[in-house]
A and B are shown apart, each in its own frame.
Chain A
Amino acid sequence: GNSVTQMEGPVTLSEEAFLTINCTYTATGYPSLFWYVQYPGEGLQLLLKATKADDKGSNKGFEATYRKETTSFHLEKGSVQVSDSAVYFCALNTGNQFYFGTGTSLTVIP
């Protein structure tokens, strides 16, 4: 079956620290991979995506590379800001359905 596993949170970092949030997946076929971000009290927003192996998605300083050999899609940012505090969801899509990880809460302190 299809599933997504994310590193457990919460994660607390100081401003300008390096961020990595791990995500691995299990899927039949060739999924597209996503990171969504949810700010407090809001819905989810698409942060970045990759639709095939070795693609790198990037947006707002965040990056993730689709690694088929390790079935991973880790989220990274070189220097986090307080405004990056949110919950981050890794997800995969194999057609009409999405499968989401449980989310990783990130808090960035000044």
Chain B
Amino acid sequence: SQTIHQWPATLVQPVGSPLSLECTVEGTSNPNLYWYRQAAGRGLQLLFYSVGIGQISSEVPQNLSASRPQDRQFILSSKKLLLSDSGFYLCAWGDPHKTYEQYFGPGTRLTVT
């Protein structure tokens, strides 16, 4: 069966520091991968999605970036965090042959101080 992992689970970082969040998927090949952010009391905002290694689409211009160095690895990064980057970050994967479903990881709670 397929599983999706995210780490770290929680993170507290000062303003201006770098960020690296990692997401990996097991049990499937060539998944579509997604990064979402959920700000406190708000809905999900799609940040990036990827349909293959090195292929990244950005939905919202901001100081975040994403990379997909391996088929089942998706990384969210920032060179300098802002207070507004605080939130709950969710990674998700989808089967490109069954695009009507997405499966979410447990999330990373990021607090920028």
Q: Which residues of A contact B (CB under 8 A)?
A: 32, 34, 36, 41-46, 49, 51, 89, 93, 95-103
Contact = CB atoms under 8 A, between A and B. Distances in A.
Contacts, number: 52
B35 interface: no
Contacts of B46: 97-100
Give the size category of B's interface with A.
20 to 34
Chain B's interface: helix, strand, loop or mixed, by majority? strand
Contacts of A97: 46, 49
A44 B104 contact: yes
A34 B92 CA distance: 15
A102 B65 CA distance: 23
A46 B103 contact: yes
A93 B90 CA distance: 17
